[in-house]
Structure 1
């Protein structure tokens, strides 16, 4: 009877005590979150209640396992399983706590800073720092798990203590996977590209949505996602429209007839921009940039505060200018010449024949 009650009491007591401590801790964190609404730390720490309770329960079971003498036939296996669970849950808890601290620091900085570009830079760095911490804690946890096995203990200790591990890591870093990891760190702290930046890569225009240690995701204007290795941004040129100041100059082209009213178009461009809220009011211009035998190329320039607004200004100007030309100056639109071409000699002979026929025929319409 004692052999049955002892495991039930130990396991049940550990679970009940874990639930009580977890409930009390969660209640304290909730009260702290309500009192200190200016910081999200306490609310973020509540997300770690699952690994926290798992650590508590595993630690209680592991501490009472030897004293309670549970399942003596499988003592070694169960004890090792509890140890591995304790190491894994502790790593999980550390990652959650570190993420909460880093996210709280970023939130405070974002509220205090008025520079959007700098906030995006810090956000990128915070994201990658969190991933680096998670990777380091994960590697340490796996190493600690391996060291619990007697067969791996000697090999693991000698491998970690030897200086040769540095050479191995350096050699593997030349490969694609770790080279992307180092490229991700270079992007985060080199301020090359940040989350939220507008970039053009391989002819695709979009916004940087996610940056990890190995890849970067760009969300295009039509809601597609382009996933690229971060090493691309450290080895090839790309356009970053958010680098420095986000202000941009938009360009619109028209191919019009040579008789197009340029001065009237300049005045109409000014009126269109004044009615467009996306124009930032800095400058505008309209000029002839090229000519062909049938048309001339007219270019309009206009400014906006960022890439989204410059796109809106461009499409607005293009649409309204074409509509105005169709309604007020249709002759300015490109025309195709369909008149028959005749040589000068053939034209003279044709006129002479027509005059002779007019002289011979009293009823001819050309005879005066």
Structure 2
């Protein structure tokens, strides 16, 4: 019997120590053991925001979770791991707090302050050619230039911060653009490479003290140049209101056709940058000497049939800027 007592005492002591350690361990869960994700990471004004909780330390599904927005309880219940709300105007801070009561009764608080800022990116293709009176946007083609401008609306202490007092960090296709970044550098000019079919641009704008930041991004597609045909009327000039269809019926004995290249890198189609090669009925044809982008057709009286017109336009300075277009002109009684 004495031998049994000697074994029993250490066993009881071990159980007591183990229980004590287990209780102490259960009480060491801290706020940093519960992570949170905010989506979007840098929300704008009047935008829906969702905060999600994740933890490997406690079972959040069995925890009682209470969310408070600007001092008012907004959501409470078991397993309420997500909370959504809408931000206010630019510079208005929303304060969110959450209280998590674990299954063991432990209370873990967390808090968030979210201040929406506004950052808009606009862009243009300054050397992309479009014809007169074109109402659309000039688009960039391969080897074309693009200019991006960041327009921040950031408030500090209720006062809008001047763009020149902000730090701009630009990224192009997921790579930092160090030379374009810096204080007051709210414009970013690039030239598209031969291989890229789009340009992914991002910029992070930060206040001088780093307390306020905003992020914005844009993806710009690179297009292929195009050519469109227009009728050049004797009294009205080029009729830009309507593109000639692929099959065109000629009602008169003569017509002058103008070709307009779209999205080539040139601000003037009559520059030596462009080379126009016309084919009529499969044969090379001389264009209008004063305007290589135009061609005149004359039909003999009483003739009928059709004529196929083909045009190739190339940019002599940009090897990948090329476009072709075809037109079938029908005349007489067919």
> What TM bracket, shorter-length normalisation?
under 0.3
- Greater relative CO (CA pairs within 8 A, separation 6+): 2
- In terms of fraction of residues, the more strand-rich structure is 2
Q: TM (normalized to structure 2)?
A: 0.26
Structure with greater Cα Rg: 1
TM-score, normalisation: structure 1: 0.25
Between Structure 1 and Structure 2, which shows a larger proportion of helix residues?
1
